[in-house]
Amino acid sequence: MTTKTALLATLVLAVLACEKGGETTPPTTGGEATDTPTDTTAAGGDAGGGEAKTEPGAPGVKWADKTYQQRKEWMGIEVLPQMKAMFKEYDEAQFKGFGCDTCHGADGKDKNFAMPTDSIYPLPKDDPVKAAMEYDEAVTKFMVEKVTPEMARLVDEEPYDPKTKTGTFGCFSCHPTE
């Protein structure tokens, strides 16, 4: 069992890492997201107040059912550290400044972290993997074999399989179309 302190520490680290990654981005949560949700959860679906206290990021609640605030916490507690480790394992030098903005773009916060972002490399609508392979085989294999399935798992979705055309989470869950 993870203690609350450990979770909080992770969250604070995540927020710090996030700030390092961005240039002028102000602190997203001020690190106090656990106890005092000071953020105006404009896009959040909760009708306001009165809910039972859940753990930060609501690990027991599926991504689709999390509030905006819980999604943000989940990103900081689970997504950022896991994906950062994975990207750094792939290329330490390129991704040493990995943060929220690596996926969401420098304007991620202004756009309420809506995905896909137009800040990362655009891919052609038809057969993005083929085009990406021609562009850079190594990074594409990393995207197909690691990034997509792992990220899908973190948001409770099935990775898209071009062969069977099944699954909901694919390249275009992050990348814009060309």
- Considering only residues 4, 135, 177, 178, which one is a binding residue for ligand HEC as defined by CB under 6 A? 135
Coil, strand, or helix at residue 169?
strand
Instruction: Take residue 64 and report the two structure tokens written for it.
Output: 């689709």
Q: Applying CB under 6 A, which of residues 10, 28, 67, 70 lies at the interface with ligand HEC?
A: 28
3-state class of 48 per DSSP? coil
Give the bridge partners for 177, in sequence order.
123
Phi, psi angles (nearest 5°) of residue 9: -60, -45
Query: Whole-number minimum distance, CB 2 to ligand HEC, in Å?
Result: 17
Cβ neighbours for 48, distance < 8 A, ≥ 6 positions apart: none
Is 12 a binding residue for ligand HEC by CB under 6 A? The answer is no
Establish if 173 lies at the interface with ligand HEC (CB under 6 A): yes
CA separation for the pair 37, 81 (Å, rounded): 21
Q: Is residue 113 involved in binding ligand HEC (CB under 6 A)?
A: yes
List residues near ligand HEC by CB under 6 A.
14, 18, 28, 43, 68, 71-72, 75-76, 79-80, 83, 100, 102-104, 112-115, 120-121, 123, 128-129, 132, 135-136, 139-140, 143-144, 147-148, 151, 155, 170-171, 173-175
